[in-house]
């Protein structure tokens, strides 16, 4: 048994060890406080991005280094600060505690819990600013990340490690697509054969009520256990709104380093750009186009470059990013939208006209693209999805032509009718993502003309009931399609048989 | 006048590391009220730059004074006594603060324990 003398000696040794490092502080004095930005003199050894502590216990982040002064943005508190107060460097870059305990939690960008539960312990400190993994550590996007939305999984597929922008005017369902994608990852977490996906939802500059609704919905759909919500609502200072996506991606990197796949949603980067513009103007940085600072492109590119698919030697983890951008009056050629479009690997463009026509999700297939996702599609869905995009494009051009009212030949009329049914099949209610086999069945049926006899108004009902029918009567077929392999003749015959037998029942009803 | 010029003026106000009153009198006559304010600030900064404050828990011994003199040969050293600084010392060199004491070390242990245990 260890006696008290040994314990004390041991403690003394540890005490000596503590004394050997640090205890050198760089101090300065507050010269000016202006709109959440502190100007301090001294701090000659301060480093860009370093965390500093004020005499009242509040913290800040160094964002500007001048000849005699440094500019610090306040991260917390700061109401009692005054001119002449002491500010000390900490020698640490801004970091966030990351661990598995964060799953199912709501936190602010500094890692403080907002859900009333205790602060996480035994965490790893992850720096907020970090250089993205290099080319050698990466591998091409090759694994699908299923959204459960037919329109996306068939025409604009997303792969793990991809950055796919969701862009559109306000109120068109951008967040709904992101939330559906998070909900769809439930099948991965329930099925031990599939690799689970950790989801991170970063809310930037949104109303607290909207965020509460999202959290509530995720809980209702049993999607909260594998999700982390990072909140910097509109009532938060611009500094925290600026840091929120970096906090999210730092947590994502923690899981990625463990070989896990992560999905991160930045909702939205327009407000993030606004927050950064506000900070930059207060910091007196030169303003450029639309008063954004010159490094606004770099801000988003360095954030989105951290979305990556690592190769096997580096653990094989991935971060898939779904940034959201809100446009004004469908203008995708504005400054921030064009910036983010050029950074990402494709975009899902939502159009107001389609939304008000009842096409939901209101995805404009013509302007939407996935630059790398097709290589991540499973052979099963790839076999049928190629046709749908062409048929839809043909329908769109014919539809415009048919509006002149001239008589159409039989082939054109048939093509128009087919197009209407394709459009109907691509409609999908919110919070009801589909599994891949069901998506395949729907797309295959409509593109092969098997729904041509069904009235357009009944297509959605037909689809829903057909899915129920297959689940009840031909689970084996769904299991075969779930393997993701290109369907052989037997499977195609089985699919045809199922739909024919159901069609008879449906028509007779 | 710009900040850099005031810094040069402050540098020029010293003779052999000491403020030269004769030089200052000459300079002040050439400055307006606003410039004098900036000049005083520059002098204060220079003074802070040339002064080291050493705080010890006891009266400094001759050997300790010699040690600090060798460490800061060109600077004015001011000694303070603070008995609460148990087994430690504090050196303030312009905006750099070197501090070591038992209380700080125990706080570090407490922080480490609360974060990791």
Output the average pLDDT for chain A.
91
Instruction: Give the pLDDT confidence score for residue A17 in this predicted structure.
Output: 57
CA distances from A166 to A236, A323, A434, B7, B40 (A): 24, 6, 20, 54, 58
Rounded Cα distance, A423 and A395, in Å: 9
**Number of alpha carbons in the 13 Å side-chain half-sphere of residue A267:** 24
Rounded Cα distance, A96 and A111, in Å: 6
Which residues of A fall within a CB distance of 8 Å from B97? 24-27, 88
Which residues of B fall within a CB distance of 8 Å from A42? 94-95
A18·B105 Cβ contact <8 A: yes
Question: Can you list the pairs that A326-334 forms with residues at least 24 positions away whose Cβ atoms lie under 8 Å?
Answer: A326/A167, A326/A168, A326/A169, A326/A170, A326/A174, A326/A268, A326/A270, A326/A271, A327/A167, A327/A168, A327/A169, A328/A169, A329/A169, A330/A168, A330/A169, A332/A167, A332/A367, A334/A290
Asked if residues A63 and A71 have their Cβ atoms less than 8 Å apart, the reply is: yes
**Closest alpha carbon within chain B to A14:** B109
Instruction: Give the pLDDT confidence score for residue A184 in this predicted structure.
Output: 95
Rounded to whole angstroms, the maximal C-alpha distance in chain A is 103
Please, which pLDDT band fits residue A369 given cuts at 50, 70 and 90?
very high
Instruction: Give the pLDDT confidence score for residue A19 in this predicted structure.
Output: 47
Size of interface A-B (CB pairs under 8 A): 40
Name, in order, each residue with C-beta under 8 angstroms of A65's C-beta and a sequence gap of 6 or more: A46, A48
For residue A24, give the nearest of B3, B98, B106 by CB distance: B98
B95·A14 Cβ contact <8 A: no
Take residue B110 and report the two structure tokens written for it: 């407490």
> Is the CB of residue A400 less than 8 Å away from at least one CB of chain B?
no
* pLDDT single digits (tens) A65-86: 998 899 999 998 788 899 889 9
* pLDDT single digits (tens) A290-306: 999 999 999 999 999 99
Q: Are residues B36 and B75 in the same domain?
A: no
pLDDT(A20) > 60: no
**Closest alpha carbon within chain B to A125:** B115
- Mean pLDDT of all residues in B12-36: 87
A25·B97 Cβ contact <8 A: yes
B99·A25 Cβ contact <8 A: yes
Q: Are residues B31 and B13 in the same domain?
A: yes
Q: Are residues B66 and B86 in the same domain?
A: yes
* Domain that includes residue B68, residue range: 52-116
- Measure B100 CA to nearest chain A CA, in Å: 6
**Closest alpha carbon within chain A to B98:** A24
- With vertex at residue A112, the alpha carbon angle to CA A106 and CA A118, rounded to the nearest 5 degrees, is 80
- Measure A13 CA to nearest chain B CA, in Å: 12
Rounded Cα distance, A181 and A145, in Å: 9
What's the gap between Cα A23 and its chain centre? Answer: 41
Instruction: Give the pLDDT confidence score for residue B115 in this predicted structure.
Output: 64
**Closest alpha carbon within chain B to A16:** B105
Which residues of B fall within a CB distance of 8 Å from A45? 95-96
* pLDDT single digits (tens) A416-433: 999 999 999 999 999 999
Rounded Cα distance, B14 and B20, in Å: 5
Do the domains spanning A25-92 and A97-377 agree at the CATH topology level?
A: no
- Mean pLDDT of all residues in A311-333: 95
- A346 sits in the region (left: phi over 0; alpha: psi -120 to 50; else beta) called left
- Exposed, middle or buried: residue B101 (CB in 10 Å: 0-12, 13-18, 19+)? buried
A-contacting residues of B 57-116, CB under 8 Å? 94-100, 104-106, 108-109, 115-116
For residue B98, give the nearest of A14, A18, A23 by CB distance: A23
At B84, give phi and psi (nearest 5°).
-70, -10
- Does 3.40.50.300 match the CATH number of domain A97-377? yes
- Measure A15 CA to nearest chain B CA, in Å: 7
Q: Are residues B66 and B96 in the same domain?
A: yes
* pLDDT single digits (tens) A202-216: 999 999 999 999 999
- Exposed, middle or buried: residue A499 (CB in 10 Å: 0-12, 13-18, 19+)? buried
When scoring B95, B100, B104 by the number of chain A Cβ atoms within 10 A, the one with the most, hence best to mutate, is B95
Which residues of A fall within a CB distance of 8 Å from B111? none
H-helix or E-strand containing A320? strand A318-326
ipTM of the complex: 0.70
Q: Are residues B100 and B74 in the same domain?
A: yes
Residues in chain B: 117
CA distances from B43 to A67, B8, B18, B87, B92 (A): 17, 10, 11, 35, 18
Name, in order, each residue with C-beta under 8 angstroms of B20's C-beta and a sequence gap of 6 or more: B13, B14
Rounded Cα distance, A353 and A247, in Å: 36
**Closest alpha carbon within chain A to B97:** A25
Q: Mark which of B12, B31, B49 sits at the end of a domain.
A: B49
Which residues share a beta bridge with A204?
Answer: A232
Rounded Cα distance, A107 and A201, in Å: 11
B95·A18 Cβ contact <8 A: no
Q: Are residues B60 and B75 in the same domain?
A: yes
Of A107, A87, A91, A90, nearest to A99 by C-alpha is A107
CA distances from A62 to A26, A47, A386, B26, B31 (A): 13, 7, 51, 41, 35
- Measure B92 CA to nearest chain A CA, in Å: 9
Which residues of A fall within a CB distance of 8 Å from B115? 121
Residue with structure tokens 């509460």? A212
Q: Are residues B57 and B89 in the same domain?
A: yes
For residue B95, give the nearest of A14, A18, A27 by CB distance: A27
A-contacting residues of B 1-60, CB under 8 Å? 3
A6 versus B58: the higher-pLDDT residue is B58
Q: Are residues B44 and B57 in the same domain?
A: no
Q: What is the pTM of this model?
A: 0.88
At A132, give phi and psi (nearest 5°).
-65, 150
Domain ranges of chain A: 25-92, 97-377, 381-508
Instruction: Give the pLDDT confidence score for residue A353 in this predicted structure.
Output: 92
Q: Are residues B62 and B99 in the same domain?
A: yes
For residue B100, give the nearest of A19, A42, A67 by CB distance: A19
When scoring A20, A24, A29 by the number of chain B Cβ atoms within 10 A, the one with the most, hence best to mutate, is A24
**Closest alpha carbon within chain B to A27:** B95
A23·B104 Cβ contact <8 A: yes
Q: Are residues B57 and B96 in the same domain?
A: yes
CA distances from A291 to A78, A206, A288, A299, A339 (A): 27, 22, 5, 15, 15
- A54 sits in the region (left: phi over 0; alpha: psi -120 to 50; else beta) called beta
pLDDT(A509) > 90: no
Instruction: Give the pLDDT confidence score for residue A290 in this predicted structure.
Output: 94
Instruction: Give the pLDDT confidence score for residue A137 in this predicted structure.
Output: 95
B100·A28 Cβ contact <8 A: no
Take residue B11 and report the two structure tokens written for it: 């540098």
Report the CATH superfamily, name and number, of domain A381-508: ATP synthase alpha/beta chain, C-terminal domain (1.20.150.20)
DSSP classification of residue A285: P
- Measure A125 CA to nearest chain B CA, in Å: 11
Q: Are residues B63 and B75 in the same domain?
A: yes
Please, which pLDDT band fits residue A11 given cuts at 50, 70 and 90?
low
Q: Are residues B64 and B110 in the same domain?
A: yes
DSSP classification of residue A196: P
* Active centre residues of A (catalytic): 371
At A428, give phi and psi (nearest 5°).
-150, 130
For residue A68, give the nearest of B3, B96, B100 by CB distance: B3
A28·B95 Cβ contact <8 A: yes
Asked if residues A102 and A228 have their Cβ atoms less than 8 Å apart, the reply is: yes
Asked if residues A451 and A462 have their Cβ atoms less than 8 Å apart, the reply is: yes
Which residues of A fall within a CB distance of 8 Å from B116? 122
**Number of alpha carbons in the 13 Å side-chain half-sphere of residue B96:** 11
For residue A27, give the nearest of B97, B115, B116 by CB distance: B97
Instruction: Give the pLDDT confidence score for residue A76 in this predicted structure.
Output: 81
pLDDT(A39) > 90: yes
B97·A26 Cβ contact <8 A: yes
Least confident of A8-17, A32-41, A161-170, B38-47: A8-17
Instruction: Give the pLDDT confidence score for residue B98 in this predicted structure.
Output: 87
* pLDDT single digits (tens) A423-479: 999 999 999 999 999 999 999 999 999 999 999 999 999 999 999 999 999 999 999
The second-level CATH assignment, the architecture, of A25-92 is Beta Barrel (2.40)
pLDDT(A331) > 60: yes
- Measure B87 CA to nearest chain A CA, in Å: 11
CA distances from A99 to A103, A106, A125, A241, A383 (A): 8, 13, 9, 22, 40
* pLDDT single digits (tens) A311-320: 999 999 999 9
* pLDDT single digits (tens) A108-157: 999 999 999 998 887 899 999 999 999 999 999 999 999 999 999 999 99
Rounded Cα distance, A231 and A215, in Å: 11
Instruction: Give the pLDDT confidence score for residue A189 in this predicted structure.
Output: 76
Q: How many domains does chain B have?
A: 2
For residue B105, give the nearest of A19, A24, A26 by CB distance: A19
pLDDT(A223) > 90: yes
């Amino acid at each position: 048994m260890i006696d008290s003398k040994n314990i004390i000696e041991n403690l003394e040794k540890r005490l000596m060890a503590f004394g050997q490092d640090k205890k050198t502080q760089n101090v300065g004095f507050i010269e000016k406080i202006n709109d959440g930005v502190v100007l301090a003199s001294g701090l000659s050894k301060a480093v860009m991005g370093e965390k500093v502590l004020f005499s009242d216990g509040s913290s800040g982040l160094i964002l500007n280094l001048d000849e005699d002064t440094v500019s610090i943005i306040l991260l917390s508190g700061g109401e009692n600060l005054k001119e002449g107060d002491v500010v000390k460097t900490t020698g640490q870059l801004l970091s966030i505690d990351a661990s598995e305990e964060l799953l199912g939690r709501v936190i602010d960008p500094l890692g403080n819990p907002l859900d009333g539960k205790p602060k996480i312990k035994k965490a790893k400190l992850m720096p907020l600013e970090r250089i993205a993994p290099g080319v050698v550590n990466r591998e091409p996007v090759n694994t699908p990340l299923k959204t459960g939305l037919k329109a996306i999984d068939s025409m604009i597929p997303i792969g793990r490690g991809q950055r796919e922008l969701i862009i559109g005017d306000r109120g068109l369902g951008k967040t709904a697509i992101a939330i559906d994608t998070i909900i769809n990852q439930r099948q991965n977490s329930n099925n031990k054969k599939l690799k689970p996906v950790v989801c991170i939802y970063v809310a930037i500059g949104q109303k607290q009520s909207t965020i509460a609704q999202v959290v509530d919905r995720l809980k209702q759909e049993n999607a909260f256990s594998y999700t982390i919500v990072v909140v910097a609502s509109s009532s938060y200072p611009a500094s925290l709104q600026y840091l929120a996506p970096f906090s999210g991606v730092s947590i994502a990197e923690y899981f990625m380093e463990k070989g896990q796949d992560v999905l991160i949603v930045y909702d939205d980067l327009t407000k993030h750009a606004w927050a950064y513009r506000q900070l930059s103007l207060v910091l007196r940085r030169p303003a450029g186009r639309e008063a954004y600072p010159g490094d606004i492109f770099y801000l988003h590119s360095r954030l989105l470059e951290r979305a990556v698919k690592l190769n096997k030697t580096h653990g094989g983890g991935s971060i898939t990013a779904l940034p959201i951008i809100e446009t004004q009056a469908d203008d995708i050629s504005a400054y921030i939208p064009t910036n983010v479009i050029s950074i990402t690997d494709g975009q899902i463009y939502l159009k107001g006209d389609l939304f008000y026509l009842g096409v939901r999700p209101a995805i404009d297939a013509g302007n939407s693209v996935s630059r790398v996702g097709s290589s991540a599609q499973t052979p099963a869905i790839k076999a049928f999805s190629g046709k749908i995009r062409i048929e839809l494009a043909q329908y769109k051009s014919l539809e415009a032509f048919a509006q002149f009212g001239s008589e159409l030949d039989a082939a054109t009329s048939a093509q128009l009718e087919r197009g209407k049914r394709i459009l109907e099949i691509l409609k999908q209610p919110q919070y009801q993502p589909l599994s891949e086999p069901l998506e395949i069945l729907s797309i295959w049926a409509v593109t092969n003309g098997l729904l041509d006899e069904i009235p357009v108004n009944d297509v959605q009902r037909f689809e829903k009931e057909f899915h129920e029918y297959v689940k009840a009567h031909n689970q084996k077929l769904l299991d075969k399609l779930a393997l993701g392999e290109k369907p052989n003749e037997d499977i195609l015959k089985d699919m045809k048989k199922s739909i024919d037998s159901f069609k008879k029942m449906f028509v007779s009803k | 006048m710009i900040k850099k010029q005031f810094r040069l003026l402050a540098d020029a106000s010293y003779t052999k590391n000491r403020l030269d009153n004769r030089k200052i009198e000459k300079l002040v006559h050439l400055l307006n009220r606003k410039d004098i304010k900036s000049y005083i600030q520059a002098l204060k900064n220079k003074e802070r730059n040339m002064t080291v404050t050493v705080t010890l828990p006891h009266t400094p011994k001759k050997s300790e004074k010699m040690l600090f003199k060798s460490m800061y040969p060109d600077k004015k050293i001011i000694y303070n006594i603070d008995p609460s600084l148990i087994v430690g010392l504090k050196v303030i060199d312009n905006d750099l603060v070197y501090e070591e004491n038992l209380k700080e070390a125990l706080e570090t242990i407490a922080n480490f324990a609360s974060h990791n245990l």
